[in-house]
Each structure stands twice: as C-alpha cells, then as structure tokens.
Amino acid sequence: MIAFAMSQKGVMINGQPFVLNTADTAFPQLVATLLPAGLKGMVVCGILAALMSSLASLFNSSAMLFTIDFYKRFKPATPEKKLVRIGQIATVVIVILGILWIPVMKSIGDVLYAYLQDVQSVLAPGIAAAFLMGVIWKRASAKGGMWGLISGFVIGLTRLGAKVYYSSVETTSHSGLFYSVFYETNWLFFCGWMLLFCILVIVLVSLFT
C-alpha cells in the first residue's frame, strides 16, 4: 500500500519519481530506494535466512513424509542407512519438481499474492473440512474424512488444471459450465463452495458407513 501510494503521488526520491513496476516488486523497490546501504544488506540477509529456513524445513518434512509414511510402510525391514539415502533422493526429487513448477505459477496468477491465494483455496478446504467435522461431529468416520480429503484433492487438481490450461490457450472464446465454475469463479467463492461440498461428502459417507 505504501509503495502504491508513493507511486500514485509521484513521490520524488533522490531527484527521481518513485515508479512501482508491478505489485510483486513493491517491497524490493522500497528497500532499494528508501533504505541506506547498511540496512539494505541486513534486510536482504534476513530475507535469505528466512527463505533458507523455510526451504530446509520443507525439504526435511517432505523427505521424512515420503520415507517414513510411504517407503518404510511397504518395506519395514529397510535399514536406517538406506532410509537416510532414500530421504536424500526424495529431497532431490522435490527440488526438481519445485523448479519444474515455476512456469505453472505464472499460469495460475500474474501476482504472487493471487497465486498463493489460488493455490491455498484448492488445498485448504478438503483438509479443513476433515478436521472440522472430526472435531465437532462425533458421528464422523475415518472413511468419511478420507473421502472428504480425496474429493477435495480431485476438485483442487481440476481447478489447477483448468487454470493452467485456459491461461495458456490464446483464444478468448471460452464458455460453458466447466469454464465458469473451475476457471472464472473467484478463489474466495470457489474455496467456500468447495468446503461445503467436502463437508457434505464427509457427512454422507459417514452416515452410510
């Protein structure tokens, strides 16, 4: 907001007007133009430290999830040394998948905030529905929670696929129910309806199992 206001007002910094190029560059532009040399370095170091910490925890938890919950479950007699190696390989695979995912990010949203909200809106409802019903409804069953998660996962993947596909197609003559629901719907509305649908799935499966 500060960067946007400065750009709109034409605030002069070092004899030049402050111009905001894109929303994603607001913070780095403020750091580059307003802070002195010493503070710039401290801010950059803080950002890099936070980024490294987040990535380290992500890689560690993802590798452990795959190694313990999947690999060791099917091969319980695997020695610890081999499990460590499997975890290292899983980490490398996750890094490669993350790099390959970068072009997809641009298809989902031009602004980083919009991308984050879009992705969270398709991942969170199924998980939230399962936890919510498990806490507030004693009749909720494990099968109901599982099918709620599965339905949320399938709908979320469909939404992401629609975002990537329709964003990459040049023609603008799209129409139909699928396009309207899975692409045009705002992420806030989609998230709410998806949450209600997952809750309905959990209730129905729990009642009939």
| Domain locations in the chain as residue ranges | 109-209
Q: Is the pLDDT of residue 125 over 80?
A: yes
Label residue 131 by pLDDT band (50, 70, 90).
very high
Q: ∠ CA 60-47-188 to the nearest 5 degrees?
A: 75
* Mean residue pLDDT across the chain: 84
Q: Token pair for residue 40?
A: 């710039």
Q: Which pLDDT band, with edges at 50, 70 and 90, does 6 fall under?
A: confident
- Assess whether pLDDT exceeds 80 at residue 110: no
Query: Phi/psi of residue 9, each to 5°?
Result: -80, -10
Amino acid at position 52, single letter: M
Q: Is the pLDDT of residue 73 over 80?
A: yes
Residue range 46-51: mean pLDDT, rounded: 88
Q: Above 80 in pLDDT, residue 155?
A: yes
pTM for this model (two decimals): 0.68
Residue 146 confidence (pLDDT)? 94
Alpha-carbon span 120 to 188, nearest angstrom: 10
Q: What is the pLDDT of residues 160-197, one digit of tens each?
A: 888 888 877 765 567 788 888 888 888 889 999 999 99
Residue with tokens 């499990």: 83
